[in-house]
Every structure is written in structure tokens, then in C-alpha cells.
Structure 1
Amino acid sequence: MTIQIVIVLILTFVINLITTLSYSVRIVGIRTSRVAISFALFNMLVLVSRTANGFQAPLLAKTVENDIRIGVFDNVGTFRLIILSCSIATVIGALLIPTFQRVLSKAVINFSTHKSMGKLILHSFSKSGILYFKDNITIPTRENISKIKLDAQFPWRIFILSIVAVAILTIGVLSAVYASYLNPDYRTTASNLSAFINGFATILMFAFIDPHLSIMTDDVTLGKCSETTFRKYIVYMTFARLMGTLLAQLLFLPVAQLLAWTATHI
């Protein structure tokens, strides 16, 4: 395994860990009554995720270029390992959600008081900040799992759309880069087709899934929906994300073949 792949695995893990933790931000906003500040602070982690995402594709492309140069045109095992890291990060992220909720809630309150990002960062790495994190480490309760019921109130449409969107976003860049193995003559075109794949998933996320969660967030704030019901939806979305990363294993190669064919006939 090359150093580039090791770095890609780490970056992919970080990206998916942060994305999974993002589901808890709305709960923190509701509990602290500071939804805007909650998202503003979480955006600091989003910057880390976006930066990691920017390095992922070039490192993968460099690996493909090196393999093609030495006559290797099949490296599917490595790409499936990268997808597996998405699933592992999602599971670990789900386990960290209760801890992250408490830590972010404390950060929101501190920022509301001091109104200084610098002071907040310094406090996070201070002895008291580290002790607070240590004292608030917890795991999800069994009740969160037992609340999952596939009844008439289960949000099947949003759940299925989330699975599909996560699966496509997981393999968007990976399938496009792997298509370079399948069609090396048009590898530049193939690797740039990831926007075509990710664009469809982005539409699902921002046109259907996020608005639904935003409405529920407002309903909880206005007292029209209980926090318990909203927490169940967060659990559903977390499971949908995990299932999406598993579905990505099935879609990865067919999508790569489709992109390789598209690169020639576009």
C-alpha cells in the first residue's frame, strides 16, 4: 500500500466522520436555542472536511497514473478498502454523536458569552477543556436503537433518498477516478465526470432531504414536534448513511464502467 493510499484512507475517514457528526448539530441548536451559532461553529470542522476532500481526488489520480505507467489496470481492492473506511467512519461517528453533542453545546454557550473564536479555540486545548471532553465521553443508549420502528410513521421516502444520495456521494470521486483504469485513453475526461455523478446526489440532498430536516428543526423550536421524535429521525438518518456506504460497494464498479463508457461517447 502506497503512502498516497494511506493518506487517502485517513482523509476519507475524516470526511465521513465529520459528515456523520453533522447530524447532531441540529439537536445542539435546539437544546441551546442557538441554531445559527451551532452551525457556525460546526463549519470550522466543515472547513477541515472540505480541505481533506480537495486532496483526496489528486492523490487518487496520482496513484492511477503511476499504476497505468507500470501496466497495472486493476486496483479495485484498494478502492473498496477506501469505501470500507467510509462505513467505519460512519459507525465511529454515530458512537461519538452523544459526546459531540455535549462538547458542541458547551462550545456554543462559551462562544455566546465571549463572542471570540480565538478564546474558544484556546479554551478547547486548555486543561479544563480537555477535562470537560474527558468527563463527557459517553456512548449512545440502547433506547435510541429500540425507538426504531418500521411502522406507518417511519420516513421511508427520506430514508431511501438518503441511502441513495449517500451511496452516490461516496463513490462519485472514486468511480470517476477508477474509470481511468477502465479507459486509460480518456482518463482525464473520465476523472472529471465525478461532478456529473455528485450533482445528482447533491440535488437529492438539498432539494428533498435537508429541507425536510430543516422543517422538523423549526417545528421542534416552535413546539409543533417533540425533541424525542426529532432525535429518532436523526437516528434514522445515521442508519441511512451507514446503509448508503454499504450500497456504495455494490454501485462502485458499475458506475465506474458507466463513466468509462461515457468518457468515450460524450
Structure 2
Amino acid sequence: MSFQILLVLIFNFIISLIGTLAYSVRLVGVRTGKIAISFSVFNILTLISRIAVTFQTPLLTNYVEKNLYSNDLLHIFNLIIVVSGAAAIFGAFLIPTFQKIFSKGVILFSIERSIPKLVINAMSRRGRTSMKYCITKPSKESVVKINYKKIPRRVVTYNFVAVALVTVGALAPIYAFRMAPNLRATCVTLSSVVNGAATILSTIFIDPQMSIMTEDVMDGKCTREDFKSCVIAMVGSKMLGTFAAVFLLVPGAYAIVFAAKGINFISSL
């Protein structure tokens, strides 16, 4: 395995891990009563994820261009998806620990009112020691006591589809290079179309419902246990959706090539 692909895998792991931990931000907001601050503090990790995306895509694109006719390309792309799924599973196990650490960060930020001070405090000896005491093993009871009747199945299904589309949308356009080398630039730009479909699902069907449920918890209309069950279900759909992208990679690449050829035909008229 080349160093270039190793970097792609590392960046991809970071992106998927942060994306999984993001589901617990609402839980921390409910627990601390500081929802807006929770999202604001989480933007630090979001920034790290965006930086990882910025480096991952050019590295992977450059590798495919140099190894356009390699027989290992499909295996490498499948490995990237599997690593993303593994990161999602790892993130799910980290959620209890992350909630405790993140809760302390939210409370500290509400006092210090400064992101730089928060980061400095976290990196200090005292901050690192405090984080060690936050390490918590996932509880089996959290899964066993899930109230399936209160889980919005439609939202969870939409999340499954959105995660699968986002995963494929980042990889299929690049893999499509091999099928249509002369349309590689057009294929890359079509990634925004696939990601756009996932964005529509998130914006219209997923985020609003999760926000409503969050407010219901704050207003006492929904119990924290039921909300926690919903978050666990969303994390589960995140893991399954990521692995499902393995089966959508090649069909997605063919669809992108078909769309690219259609655009090329229209532009030639």
C-alpha cells in the first residue's frame, strides 16, 4: 500500500469518526441545557473534518490518475469504505466517553467564552488528566433498553440513505475516471449532484425532525431515554449506511459516467 493511500485512509477515518460523534452533540446539549453552545464548540471538530476532506480528495484523485488502469483500484476504494465503517463503529463505542469530555468542554466554554482558552485548557496537563477520568465503557443497557416504539423509523431510514449517498458521492465520481478517462473533469464535478441529494434528505427530512425532538425533550414532551434511543438508532443507521456504500460504488460510478456522457452530448449540440 502506498503512503498516499495510507494518508487517504487516515483522513477518511477521521472524517467518519467525527461524523459519528456528531450524533451525540444533541444529547450533550440536552444534558447541559446549552444546545447552541454545544454546536458551537463542536465546530472545532467539524473544522478538523473539513480540513481532512480538503486533503483527502486531491490525494485520492491524484492516485487514480497515476494508476488509472490498475486492477487494485476497486479493492482500494472498497477498503476506504470499510475503513469508514470501522471508524463509525469505533465512534459509536467512543460516544459515552465523548459525551462526558464534550459536556465539560461546553460548560468550560460557557464560563471562559473563548475557543482558544478552551483548546489551551484541553491540552494542558490538568485537562488531559480530567479527560482520563471521563473514559467510559459503552453500556449494554443502552442498547437493551431502546424504546423501539419511539424511534422515528422514517427518519432513521432517510439517514441510512443519506449516509450511503454521501459515502458514494465522495468516491464514485473519482472511481468513474477508469470508465471514462476522457470525461474525468466532468465526473468529478458530478459529485456535488450525489451529495446534493443527501443534503436535501438531511435538510428537509432529518435535521428538522431531530431538532423538533430535541426541543420536545427540553420542553418535557419527550423523555431523555426516548431521545437517547433515537440517537442510538441514528448511529446504527450511520454504520449500516456506510457499509452499504460498498454495494453502491460501482453502480454509482456507472450512473455518473452515464450522466457525464449525457452532459458531453448536450454540450456538443
TM range (shorter): over 0.9
Structure 1 unaligned regions, length at least 5: none
Match of 1:86? 84
The separation in 2 between residues aligned to 1:116 and 1:163, in whole angstroms, is: 36
Aligned CA RMSD, in angstroms, stands at: 1.3
Give the deviation of 1:220 after TM superposition: 0.6
- Tell me the equivalent position of 1:201: 198
Equivalent position amino acid for 1:7 in 2: L
Mapped to 2, the partners of 1:153 and 1:139 lie a distance apart of 25
Q: 2:235 aligned to 233, 238, 245, which one?
A: 238
The aligned residue for residue 141 of structure 2 is 143
Q: Which amino acid aligns with 2:77?
A: F
The offset of 1:73, in angstroms, is 6.5
8 Å CA contact 2:179–2:257 kept in 1: the answer is yes
Q: Distance in 2 between matches of 1:35 and 1:218?
A: 10
CA distance in 2, matches of 1:118, 1:188: 40
2:44 maps to amino acid = M
**1:32 corresponds to which residue?**
32
Kept in 2, the 8 Å contact 1:74–1:181? The answer is no
Match of 1:8 in 2: 8
The aligned residue for residue 251 of structure 1 is 248
| Counterpart in the other structure of 2:258 | 261
CA drift at 1:265: 1.6
Q: For residues 5 and 221 of structure 1, what CA distance do their matches in structure 2 show?
A: 45
Q: Please list every run of 5 or more consecutive structure 2 residues that lacks an aligned counterpart in the other structure.
A: 264-269
Instruction: Tell me which amino acid in the other structure corresponds to 1:78.
Output: I
Query: Normalized against structure 1, the TM-score is what?
Result: 0.95
Task: Look up the equivalent residue of 1:254 and give its one-letter code.
Answer: P
Match of 1:163 in 2: 160
Q: Does 1:134 align with 2:143?
A: no
Question: TM (normalized to structure 2)?
Answer: 0.94
1:116 offset after TM fit, Å? 2.1
How far, CA to CA, are the matches of 2:13 and 2:234 in structure 1?
18
Post-superposition Cα deviations, 1:4-59, rounded to whole Å, max 9, x if no partner, equal 21111011100010010011111111111111111100001100101111122111
1:66 is matched with 66
Q: CA separation in 2, counterparts of 1:170 and 1:147? A: 30
Q: Check conservation: 2:187, 2:257, Cα contact below 8 A.
A: yes
Write out per-residue CA displacement over residues 165-215 of structure 1, whole angstroms, 9 at most, x where no aligned residue.
Answer: 000001102000000011111111112210011100110011101111100
For residue 182 of structure 2, what is the amino acid of its counterpart? D
SS in structure 1 opposite 2:70?
A: coil
Q: Distance in 2 between matches of 1:178 and 1:139?
A: 38
* Match in the other structure for 1:191: 188
SS of corresponding position for 2:67: helix
CA distance in 2 between counterparts of 1:26 and 1:167 reads: 22
Distance, in Å, in 2 between the alignment partners of 1:247 and 1:100 is 26
Whether the 8 Å CA contact 1:64–1:178 is kept in 2: the answer is yes
Match for 2:259: what amino acid?
T
The one of 95, 98, 102 equivalent to 2:96 is 98
CA contact (8 A) 2:151 2:229 kept: no
